[in-house]
C-alpha cells in the first residue's frame, strides 16, 4: 500500500525498469528533433513574455527532467508555450517594467506559485477545479490569445515600438508609431514569416513530390525555423544589420542556469495569486488534453492527478533555475510523439540537448534578429486561432457558442484575465439559467399499457383529479423555485385536484434546496387538501431522501413505478386498462 502510493508519485519507477536499447534509440531520435524545434521557440516565447532570451533556455531544461520523473504521459513535451507566455507578460507587466530585475523576479515567482498550486491540487486531488473551464471558453480563449499574440509581434516585424495588452491598445499604438518602420527589419520579418508559412503549407509536399522520403521531409519541416534562424543570423552578421536599426538578440549569457530563489515577498505573491491560478488551470487543461489524445492512440493511460503533480514539479523546477511558467505544448508534444518518443526519458534527453545548445550555441545567437523570432511566434500561434469553432458551436448550442464569442471579445478588448473570467462566469450563468427552467411534462397513460407519456406529444388518458408531472432534470437550487412555482400554478388552476404525483426517473440527485422546496410543496399542498406522491425515485436519490423529514411528513406515498401510483390512486382507471392489457396479450 505504502509502496503503491510512493510509486504513484514516481511513475519513473515503473517505466525505467523496462528501459532498453530500443526505447533508448527511439527516445534519442525524438529528443534531437524536439531540441531543434525548441531552440528558436524557447527564445521566442521568452521574448513574448518580455524576458531575456536565456530565460527561455533555462525554462527548457530542469522542467523537462522533472516531468520525466513525475509525468505519466509518454509523449508530452513540457516547456515554454505561447499562451502561458502571453499570460505571464500580462500578469508581470502589471507589477514591474520590462527589462528590470523586478520583472524577471516576478516571472520567476509566478512560475514558483503556479508550481505550488499545481502540486497542491495534485496531492489533494483537486483536478476537478479545471472543470470550471468549459470547452467553449477554452476554445475562445486560445483563439483570442493567438490573435493577441500575433498582434503583439507585429511591432517586431516592422521594427517599431508599440505596446498594449488589449487589441485596441496594440493597434492604436502600432498606428501611432507606424512612421518608425525600419526597412531592413521589415524585409527580414516579412520574408521569414512568408518562408515559415510556406514550409508549413507546402514544404512537405514539395519535397515528397521530389522523392524525399516522408520521414526526412517531416524532419525538414521541423528544422525550418532553425534554418530561418541560421540564415538571418548570417545576414545580420554579414551586413552589420544591427548598425541599420535591426534589433538583434545580443549577448546571451553562456552556461547553465544557476540555482535561483524566487523573491520571498508576500505582497508580490498575493498580487500574483490569481494570475498564477489562471495560468495553472489553463496550462493543465491544455496539457491533459494533448496527453490524453496521444496516450489514447497507443492505448496507454495517464493519471490526471499525477499530471498535476508533474506539472507542479516542472514549474517549481523552472522557478528554481531562473525560468518562467511552463506547460505541456501541443505542437511539440505531437512532434515528439510522431518522432517516436517511447518514454518520458525523451524529455530528459531534450533537456540535455538544450543544455548543450546553451553551452555551445549562445555566442552564435548574438546576431539573431528579433524579427525572426517574431516570425516563428506569428506562424506558430495563428494555428491556434479557430474562429470556425464558433459556427460549429452555434449549430449545436447557441448558449455554448455565445460563451465562446464573449470569451473572445472580452479577451481581445479587456485582456487575458478578464477574458477568461468573463467566459467562466458566463458559462456557469448559462448553466444555472438552463437548469432553472428544466424541461417537464404533464403525463397521461398510453391506453392499454403501463406507460405514461407527455400529454402534449402523445394520445394519452389523463386521470381526473390527479396531476402527473415528470421533471427531466435533477432537482437542485436553480430550479427549486421553478418547481414550487410550477406546481402551485397548476394546483391553483385546477380546483378539483386531489393528488400530485411527481414522476422522478430523470432526477439524478436532489440537493438540500430542492428537498426544502419539496417539503414546502408538501406542506402547502396539504393546507390546500392535495396529497403529494413520488414515483420511480432512483436508488441513490431514495437513499438520501429516507434520511430527510420529507418522507415521514409526506401526505402521499412513494411508488416503485408510476403505474403502481396510478393503480393505487385511480384503481377504476388503471384497473380498466390493465384488463385491456390482459385482453391485448391474450389475443
Site residues for a copy of itself, 294-323, by CB under 8 A, read: 295-297, 299-301, 304
Q: Which of residues 118-157 bind a copy of itself (CB under 8 A)?
A: 127-128, 130-136
Of the two residues 100 and 494, which places its CB atom closer to a copy of itself in the complex? 494
Q: Pick the binder of a copy of itself from 281, 393, 410, 518 (CB under 8 A).
A: 393
538: cell is 432512483
CB nearer a copy of itself, residue 90 or residue 420: 420
| Given 520, 542, 576, 578, the residue binding a copy of itself (CB under 8 A) | 520
Q: Residues near 96 by Cβ (< 8 Å), separated by ≥ 6?
A: 102, 103, 105, 106
**Pairing mode of beta strands 440-445, 452-454:** antiparallel
496 interacts with a copy of itself by CB under 8 A: no
Q: Output 2 or 396, the one with its CB closest to a copy of itself.
A: 396
Using the contact rule CB under 8 A, the part of the chain among 45-53, 82-90, 186-194, 399-407 near a copy of itself is 399-407
Task: Give the residue from 484, 465, 567, 471 showing the smallest Cα distance to 523.
Answer: 484
Q: Write down the least CB distance from residue 28 to a copy of itself, Å.
A: 26
In the complex, the smallest distance separating the C-beta of residue 402 from a copy of itself, rounded to whole angstroms, is 11
- The helix or strand, by DSSP H or E, that contains position 190, with its residue range, turns out to be helix 183-198
* Shortest Å, Cβ 218 to a copy of itself: 19
Q: Looking at 516, 564, 567, 581, which residue binds a copy of itself (CB under 8 A)?
A: 516
Residue 572 CB, shortest distance to a copy of itself, in Å, is: 26
Closest to a copy of itself by CB, 210 vs 457, is: 457
Contacts to a copy of itself from residues 270-289, by CB under 8 A: 288
How far is it, in rounded angstroms, from Cα 1 to Cα 7? 10
Q: Are 322 and 110 in contact (CB under 8 A)?
A: no
**What is the DSSP secondary structure assignment for residue 473, as one 8-state letter?**
S
CB of 145 to a copy of itself, least distance (A): 19
Question: Quick count: other Cβ atoms within 10 Å of Cβ 25?
Answer: 12
Residue 449 binds a copy of itself, judged by CB under 8 A: no
CB of 554 to a copy of itself, least distance (A): 15
Please say whether the beta carbons of 378 and 193 come within 8 A.
yes
For 257, the 3-state DSSP assignment is: coil
**Cβ 383 to a copy of itself shortest distance, Å:** 18
Helical ranges in 260-369 per DSSP H:
266-297, 304-320, 330-338, 345-360
Q: Give the closest residue to 122 by CA, choosing from 305, 333, 351.
A: 305
User: Which CB atom, from 6 or from 433, has the smaller least distance to a copy of itself?
Assistant: 433
Grid coordinates of 390? 464558433
CA distance 199 to 462: 70
Of 245 and 465, the one with the shorter C-beta distance to a copy of itself is 465
Q: How far is the CB of 57 from a copy of itself (least distance, A)?
A: 33
Restricted to residues 474-493, the positions that interact with a copy of itself (CB under 8 A) are 474, 476-482, 484-485, 488-489, 491-493
Element (H, E) at 81: none
Q: Which of 434, 461, 551, 581 binds a copy of itself (CB under 8 A)?
A: 434
Looking only at residues 187 through 206 of this chain, which bind a copy of itself when binding is defined by CB under 8 A?
Answer: none
Under rule CB under 8 A, residue 386 binds a copy of itself: no
Site for a copy of itself in 326-385 (CB under 8 A): none
Pick the stretch among 156-164, 245-253, 410-418, 544-552 that binds a copy of itself (CB under 8 A): 544-552
Rounded CA separation 542/88 (Å): 49
Q: Residues 418, 548, 557, 561: which binds a copy of itself (CB under 8 A)?
A: 548
Among 506, 542, 573, 576, binds a copy of itself (CB under 8 A): 506
500 lies in the binding site for a copy of itself (CB under 8 A): no
Closest CA to 69 of 280, 294, 260, 306: 306
Question: How far is Cα 414 from Cα 391, in angstroms, rounded to an integer?
Answer: 23
Query: Pick from 169, 450, 511, 564: which binds a copy of itself (CB under 8 A)?
Result: 511
Binding segment for a copy of itself (CB under 8 A), chosen from 75-83, 343-351, 470-478, 566-574, is 470-478
How many residues bind a copy of itself (CB under 8 A)? The answer is 75
All three cell numbers of 308, joined, read 498535476
Identity of the residue, 96 or 129, whose beta carbon is nearer to a copy of itself in the bound complex: 129
Cβ closer to a copy of itself: 371 or 390? 390
352, with CB counted inside 10 A (0-12, 13-18, 19+), is: middle
Q: Least Å distance between CB 266 and a copy of itself?
A: 20
Q: Are strands 558-559 and 327-328 parallel, antiparallel or unpaired?
A: unpaired
Among 18, 210, 547, 587, binds a copy of itself (CB under 8 A): 547
SS3 call for 461: strand
572 makes contact with a copy of itself (CB under 8 A): no
The beta-carbon contacts of 233-240 under 8 Å, at least 24 apart in sequence, are: 233/364, 233/365, 233/367, 233/368, 233/369, 234/367, 235/188, 236/188, 236/367, 236/368, 236/369, 237/367, 239/184
Rounded Cα–Cα distance for residues 118 and 426 (Å)? 25
Smallest distance from a copy of itself to CB 129, Å: 8
Selected binder of a copy of itself within 180, 513, 561, 567 (CB under 8 A):
513
Confirm or reject binding of residue 180 to a copy of itself (CB under 8 A): no
Residue 467 φ/ψ, nearest 5 degrees? -95, 120
- d(Cα 201, Cα 206) in Å, to the nearest integer? 10
The Cα 238–Cα 212 span in angstroms is 32
Amino acid at each position: 500500500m505504502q509502496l503503491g502510493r510512493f510509486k504513484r508519485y514516481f511513475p519513473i519507477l515503473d517505466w525505467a525498469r523496462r528501459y532498453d536499447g530500443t526505447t533508448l534509440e527511439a527516445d534519442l531520435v525524438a529528443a534531437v528533433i524536439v531540441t531543434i524545434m525548441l531552440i528558436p521557440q524557447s527564445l521566442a516565447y521568452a521574448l513574448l513574455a518580455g524576458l531575456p532570451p536565456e530565460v527561455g533556455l533555462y525554462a527548457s531544461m530542469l522542467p523537462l527532467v522533472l516531468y520525466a520523473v513525475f509525468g505519466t504521459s509518454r509523449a508530452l513535451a513540457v516547456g515554454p508555450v505561447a499562451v502561458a507566455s502571453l499570460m505571464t507578460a500580462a500578469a508581470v507587466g502589471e507589477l514591474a517594467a520590462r527589462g528590470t530585475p523586478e520583472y524577471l523576479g516576478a516571472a520567476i515567482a509566478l512560475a514558483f506559485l503556479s508550481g505550488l498550486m499545481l502540486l497542491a491540487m495534485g496531492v489533494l486531488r483537486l483536478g476537478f477545479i479545471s472543470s470550471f473551464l468549459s470547452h467553449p471558453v477554452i476554445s475562445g480563449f486560445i483563439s483570442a490569445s493567438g490573435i493577441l499574440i500575433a498582434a503583439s509581434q507585429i511591432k517586431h516585424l516592422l521594427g517599431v515600438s508599440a505596446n498594449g495588452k488589449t487589441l485596441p491598445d496594440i493597434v492604436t499604438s502600432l498606428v501611432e508609431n507606424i512612421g518608425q518602420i525600419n526597412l531592413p527589419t521589415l524585409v527580414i520579418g516579412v520574408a521569414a514569416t512568408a518562408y515559415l508559412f510556406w514550409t508549413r503549407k507546402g514544404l512537405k509536399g514539395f519535397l515528397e513530390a521530389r522523392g524525399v522520403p516522408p520521414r526526412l521531409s517531416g524532419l525538414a519541416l521541423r528544422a525550418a525555423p532553425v534554418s530561418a534562424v541560421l540564415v538571418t543570423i548570417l545576414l545580420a552578421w554579414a551586413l552589420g544589420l544591427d548598425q541599420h536599426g535591426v534589433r538583434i538578440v545580443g549577448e546571451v549569457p553562456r552556461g547553465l542556469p544557476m540555482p535561483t530563489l524566487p523573491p520571498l515577498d508576500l505582497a508580490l505573491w498575493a498580487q500574483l495569486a490569481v494570475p498564477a491560478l489562471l495560468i495553472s488551470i489553463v496550462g493543465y487543461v491544455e496539457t491533459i488534453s494533448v496527453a490524453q489524445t496521444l496516450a489514447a492512440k497507443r492505448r496507454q493511460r495517464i493519471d490526471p492527478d499525477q499530471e498535476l503533480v508533474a506539472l507542479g514539479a516542472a514549474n517549481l523546477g523552472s522557478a528554481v533555475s531562473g525560468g518562467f511558467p511552463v506547460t505541456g505544448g501541443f505542437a511539440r508534444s505531437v512532434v515528439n510523439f510522431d518522432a517516436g518518443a517511447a518514454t518520458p526519458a525523451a524529455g530528459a534527453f531534450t533537456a540535455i540537448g538544450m543544455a548543450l545548445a546553451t553551452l555551445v550555441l549562445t555566442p552564435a545567437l548574438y546576431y539573431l534578429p528579433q524579427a525572426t523570432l517574431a516570425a516563428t511566434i506569428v506562424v506558430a500561434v495563428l494555428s491556434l486561432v479557430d474562429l470556425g469553432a464558433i459556427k460549429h458551436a452555434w449549430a449545436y448550442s447557441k448558449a455554448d457558442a455565445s460563451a465562446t464569442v464573449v470569451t473572445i471579445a472580452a479577451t481581445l478588448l479587456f485582456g487575458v484575465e478578464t477574458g477568461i473570467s468573463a467566459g467562466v462566469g458566463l458559462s456557469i450563468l448559462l448553466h444555472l439559467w438552463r437548469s432553472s427552467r428544466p424541461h417537464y411534462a404533464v403525463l397521461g397513460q398510453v391506453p392499454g399499457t403501463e406507460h405514461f407519456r407527455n400529454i402534449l406529444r402523445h394520445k394519452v388518458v389523463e386521470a381526473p383529479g390527479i396531476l402527473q408531472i415528470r421533471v427531466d432534470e435533477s432537482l437542485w437550487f436553480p430550479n427549486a423555485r421553478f418547481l414550487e412555482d410550477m406546481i402551485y400554478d397548476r394546483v391553483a388552476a385546477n380546483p378539483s385536484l386531489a393528488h400530485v404525483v411527481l414522476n422522478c426517473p430523470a432526477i439524478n440527485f436532489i440537493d438540500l434546496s430542492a428537498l426544502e422546496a419539496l417539503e414546502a410543496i408538501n406542506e402547502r399542498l396539504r393546507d390546500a387538501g392535495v396529497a403529494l406522491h413520488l414515483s420511480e425515485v432512483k436508488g441513490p436519490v431514495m437513499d438520501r431522501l429516507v434520511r430527510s423529514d420529507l418522507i415521514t411528513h409526506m401526505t402521499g406515498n412513494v411508488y416503485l413505478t408510476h403505474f403502481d401510483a396510478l393503480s393505487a390512486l385511480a384503481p377504476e382507471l388503471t384497473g380498466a386498462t390493465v384488463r385491456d392489457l390482459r385482453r391485448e396479450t391474450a389475443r
